[in-house]
Structure 1
Amino acid sequence: MSIISTSSTMAASKQFTKEEIAKHNKQGDLWLVIDSKVYDVSRFAAMHPGGLSVLLDEEVAGQDATEAFFGLHRHEVLLRPQYARLQIGTVVGEKPQIVARAAGAVSTVPYAEPMWLTKGYHSPYFTERHRAFQAALRKLLEEVVLPDALAREEDGKPVSQAVWDKLAEASANVMALRFGPGPHLQGRTLLGGVVKPEEVTFLHALILAQEFARFNSRGYMDGGNGSLIGLPPILKYGRPELRDKIMNDFFDGKKFTSLAISEAFAGSDVSGMKTFATKTDKGWVVNGTKKWITGGMVASYFTVGCRSEEGFVVLVIERGPGVETKPIKTAYSSAAGTAFVTFDNVLVPFENQLGEDGQGLLVILTNFNAERWGMAAAAISAHRVIVEECLKWATQRKVFGKPLISQAVIRAKLAAMISRVESAQAWIEAITYQMINMSHEQQAKLAGQIGLLKSFATKTAQETAEDAVQIFGGRGITKTGMGKHIEHYHRTVVFDAILGGAEDVLDDLGVRQALRMMPKNARL
């Protein structure tokens, strides 16, 4: 998804008649019209990536080429400086019909936004204050994060420090907001005061998770999200001194934490971990390896699950002697910082232990609900972006002389996409409402619901990715141009199905929890 600022357009004041434009229809003297704007492409024609012949076509040269252009290019192309300056005027009596969405604005494409954010619809959960919060957040993210996300997804570098600094500013405190409601927000100004600390609920956390996931820069976003799963166990179980130090490092955008649970020996089967912590007089000594650690390449701290003589223990290990990270190449950008981590006789102070001896598995498991909920929220939001892309393409692309949308098979695919994303959105909003109204202990009842939701969200997202490629055709497997977001989504969507627990494992979790709650006297 790309956001184009309307201020970047250069509206030439000179006007031309269609008859005058039609005279400029040959090599060396070539004009064309796109959405009422007149472009002189005489010099550019020889450099046109699609070749000169495309521009000399009788339906393009000296003609209104709007339909032809939007059958091949995204609107953002027109607003690039090198192309915008080719505009020499406008057509007499005509005005632009195609207006780019301004940064921060809500899309008017049907189903491009959740129902609660769509004009004319209502919600039992969200209010006008939530909408004000969303508007302020989206504007900030699209102005600050989006340009960096697109650039870093390409070059594979981590999130720029300038982005962290902007999100951490005292006037916004977005870094603190990302962890939802809690005492960590007290005394902070949030998004310029659009919401007060005591007003924040998990609905705001849902908005945050979904707004951050709209950029179609999967590696980049994962790289920036590592602390969202690595820091919560520290906030809940860490000693005050350790908690405050690491929390403030992150809230200031300076240091980051990765959750280090998965190993080559243990993925969804957490109990299969082999990394071992030995208790000594001086502290814990840790040896072992961790694999597929998101954000591990830039992490200063690791929240590490270990075996011990007492069972399991979770330790916070600071990057230093004995800690080594190596990048793991994956199907998406190295901006994710996915790492293989080695711990070689690392001495960890007793003060860095989270929870009691032998209770480490509890610390790990209680973190899963929030982790999977956040992943589901992001997956649903990214899914929705693809629905919008497909709706736009199907209405502007012509095949066999008719819009693509005129084909029943395309409408059927779109209907399935919409049904999937709206079902998942309704489910996560209902679960989020329960999170607000349940105590932390009661939220254990949501483990199965959240597991089933995440599995549903990732399975249906993969189905939509397949359908989207079919709708876009060859463009859906091309990394640049019209279908670039479809290609990226199709290539990276499978990550959601693995991270935080494989789909089969989560499905089984949901059913097993339901069976534990089955009444003994239930009969048909």
Structure 2
Amino acid sequence: MTTTNAQIPFSEPPWLNNLPTPIFKATHKRFQAAIRPLLQKILHDNAIEWETAETIPAHVFDEFAAAGLLPCALPAPLDVNLLKSLGITHLPGPTPVEEFDALHGVIFSDEMSRSGLAGPGGSLTTGIAFGVPPIIKFGSDEVKQKFLPDFLTGKKRACIAITEPDAGSDVANITTTAEKSADGKYYIVNGTKKWITNAIWSHHATMAVRTGAPGSGAAGISLLIVPLLGHPGVTMRRLKVSGQISAGTTYISLEDVRVPVSDLLGKEGAGMSYIMTNFNHERLAIAVGATRSARVALSSAFEYVLAREAFGKALIEQPVVRHRLAKAGALLESQWAWIEQFAFQLTQMERDVAERELGGMTALLKAQAGMVLKECADTAVLLFGGNGYTRSGRGHIAEMIWREVPGVRIPGGSEDVMLDLAIRQLVKLYKGKTKQLQKSAGRGKL
């Protein structure tokens, strides 16, 4: 997309501001130009109103699905045969499903967050983005045929349910149990899940459960497709969190919930490894959305200080104001450049290689996105002054984004855990490659 209009500084990434790009190609530009007006009409025109009202009207998801946008939330590359079997051959653009890559995915996440708010967009895509990929990757043919047609076309909704009241980033210690019935035909699920996005309106959850003995840790975890809406033994209630309220954060109670054993994903006890493959996509999507939110906060403040006068001159004439904008802007554009680089790397690597080589860096990218958002949100609130502390008026968007900062720094792996994980993964990769080099050198000796 190109424009002849002057843009408020920091309001768009460089490639959408008429600057050359070595990364985004014609297919990406067509895709972006197609989805922006769609999302503006379906989502962004009313995003602030809906977030303030704390919920999204049900018809919005139906319109979103009818526009063919649901598969765009999935990780690239897409399962082309699966989508074509459902009659889905193209995405907006028109983009053939074969063409969709990680850069298309970054564009989609960026455009979904263009209101600056994570809640409205998350209310539509979090479930399919993170709850459906494990079914595609690890589900049996029977499971795929049973669930995916409805999920991928929007007839039913799914979510991912891992976190528990006493097990957030510490996934290996979840306590929700799934024990087989006496006849061996069902898992009987008991436990609680907390902070589950989209669950309140989801028909099923891809759920982490403990099939192993208590204390078995990661080795005792499995993934199970558990029914939610209206199912016996399932009770759900909305949780009112500080930000992203419209995304439907939910508390789930499960009491003797019967799930057919055939709805197990993959092998019993392999759930932890399956969950780990899902995190990279989740963390990248969070990082992209957070960076767009940071962009909205900072550019809104920039626009404000250009017009606002104090002490006899526009705020932009104050050196301290320019200094704050400069510091936050440098972090913002550095983060976006890293995202572009990261997504490009994904387009050049096999998925299993990327998951191994980039896992730690994905965690670091996500953690850094939260830090950048915090800096930009803080800057925006300070520059808006009292308006940035008020839930109405010109600074309302800055106040709303500021409340969403913890929603980036905590979910998807809390910031401190991500920083530690990144370094541990880098050390693990280094040691593994060093051993391989030593072995290779040993084989070369006479």
TM over 0.5: yes
The CA deviation string for residues 326-370 of structure 1, in whole angstroms up to 9 with x for no partner, is 111211354221111011111111111112111111111111111
Answer yes or no: is the 8 Å Cα contact 1:177–1:185 preserved in 2: no
| 1:518 match: secondary structure | helix
What runs of 5+ residues in structure 2 fail to find an aligned partner?
Answer: 214-219, 438-446
Match in the other structure for 2:32? 134
Match in the other structure for 1:256? 157
| 1:438 match: secondary structure | coil
Q: How far apart in 1 are the matches of 2:5 and 2:236?
A: 41
| 2:12 match: secondary structure | coil
Answer yes or no: is the 8 Å Cα contact 1:275–1:288 preserved in 2: yes
Match in the other structure for 2:443? none
Is 1:312–2:221 an aligned residue pair? Answer: yes
The one of 415, 418, 423 aligned to 1:506: 418
The one of 424, 429, 436 aligned to 1:517: 429
Is 1:242–2:143 an aligned residue pair? Answer: yes
Query: 1:177: how far off?
Result: 2.2
The one of 360, 384, 398 aligned to 2:295: 384
More helix by share: 2
| 1:309 match: secondary structure | coil
Is 1:181–2:181 an aligned residue pair? Answer: no
The CA deviation string for residues 35-60 of structure 1, in whole angstroms up to 9 with x for no partner, is xxxxxxxxxxxxxxxxxxxxxxxxxx
Match in the other structure for 1:463? 375
Match in the other structure for 2:442? none
The one of 331, 339, 364 aligned to 1:428: 339
Aligned residues: 416
Q: Which amino acid in 2 is paired with 1:352?
A: D
The one of 113, 118, 121 aligned to 1:218: 118
The CA deviation string for residues 458-482 of structure 1, in whole angstroms up to 9 with x for no partner, is 0121122111111110000111111
The CA deviation string for residues 181-227 of structure 1, in whole angstroms up to 9 with x for no partner, is 31144353535552222221111111000100111333323322331
Q: Name whichever of 234-243 and 290-299 sits farther off.
A: 234-243
Normalising to structure 1: TM-score of the pair? Answer: 0.76
Q: How far apart in 2 are the matches of 1:251 and 1:330?
A: 28
Q: How far apart in 1 are the matches of 2:59 and 2:15?
A: 32
The CA deviation string for residues 214-266 of structure 1, in whole angstroms up to 9 with x for no partner, is 11333323322331111111111112232244332233323211111111110
Is 1:232–2:133 an aligned residue pair? Answer: yes
Match in the other structure for 2:203? 300
Is 1:160–2:71 an aligned residue pair? Answer: no
Q: How far apart in 2 are the matches of 1:345 and 1:105?
A: 61
Query: 1:131: how far off?
Result: 1.6
1:263-282 to structure 2, matched below 5 A, reads 263-280=164-181, 281-282=184-185
Answer yes or no: is the 8 Å Cα contact 1:226–1:256 preserved in 2: no
Q: Which amino acid in 2 is paired with 1:270?
A: V
What runs of 5+ residues in structure 1 fail to find an aligned partner?
Answer: 1-101
Query: 1:438: how far off?
Result: 1.4
The CA deviation string for residues 269-316 of structure 1, in whole angstroms up to 9 with x for no partner, is 101101111123122111110111111111111111111227111100
Q: How far apart in 1 are the matches of 2:63 and 2:247?
A: 20
Query: 1:165: how far off?
Result: 2.5
1:48-197 to structure 2, matched below 5 A, reads 108-119=7-18, 121-157=19-55, 159-169=56-66, 172-179=67-74, 180-182=76-78, 183=80, 184-186=82-84, 187-191=87-91, 193-197=93-97
Q: How far apart in 2 are the matches of 1:269 and 1:314?
A: 16
Match in the other structure for 2:216? none
| 1:210 match: secondary structure | helix
Q: Which amino acid in 1 is paired with 2:221?
A: F
Is 1:202–2:202 an aligned residue pair? Answer: no
Answer yes or no: is the 8 Å Cα contact 1:136–1:191 preserved in 2: no
| 2:190 match: secondary structure | strand
Q: How far apart in 2 are the matches of 1:256 and 1:493?
A: 27
| 1:347 match: secondary structure | strand
Q: Name whichever of 203-212 and 148-157 sits farther off.
A: 148-157
Select the structure of larger CA radius of gyration. Answer: 1
Match in the other structure for 1:438? 349
Q: How far apart in 1 are the matches of 2:224 and 2:252?
A: 14
Q: How far apart in 1 are the matches of 2:245 and 2:408?
A: 16
The one of 310, 321, 325 aligned to 2:232: 321
Cα pair distance change 1:222/1:105, threshold 3 Å: farther
Structure 1 segments (4+ residues) deviating >6 Å: 104-107
Answer yes or no: is the 8 Å Cα contact 1:174–1:190 preserved in 2: no
Cα pair distance change 1:204/1:192, threshold 3 Å: closer
Query: 1:493: how far off?
Result: 1.6
The CA deviation string for residues 71-102 of structure 1, in whole angstroms up to 9 with x for no partner, is xxxxxxxxxxxxxxxxxxxxxxxxxxxxxxx9
Match in the other structure for 1:494? 406
Answer yes or no: is the 8 Å Cα contact 1:152–1:220 preserved in 2: yes
Q: How far apart in 2 are the matches of 1:421 and 1:480?
A: 26
Higher relative contact order (CA 8 A, sep 6+): 2
Query: 1:129: how far off?
Result: 3.0
Answer yes or no: is the 8 Å Cα contact 2:388–2:396 preserved in 1: yes
Match in the other structure for 1:82? none
Match in the other structure for 1:287? 190
| 1:150 match: secondary structure | helix
Cα pair distance change 1:466/1:147, threshold 3 Å: same
| 2:258 match: secondary structure | strand
Answer yes or no: is the 8 Å Cα contact 2:35–2:92 preserved in 1: no
Normalising to structure 2: TM-score of the pair? Answer: 0.88
Q: How far apart in 2 are the matches of 1:335 and 1:440?
A: 33
Q: Name whichever of 187-196 and 197-206 sits farther off.
A: 187-196
Q: How far apart in 2 are the matches of 1:360 and 1:147?
A: 40
Q: What do you get for the CA RMSD once the two structures are aligned?
A: 2.1
Match in the other structure for 2:217? none
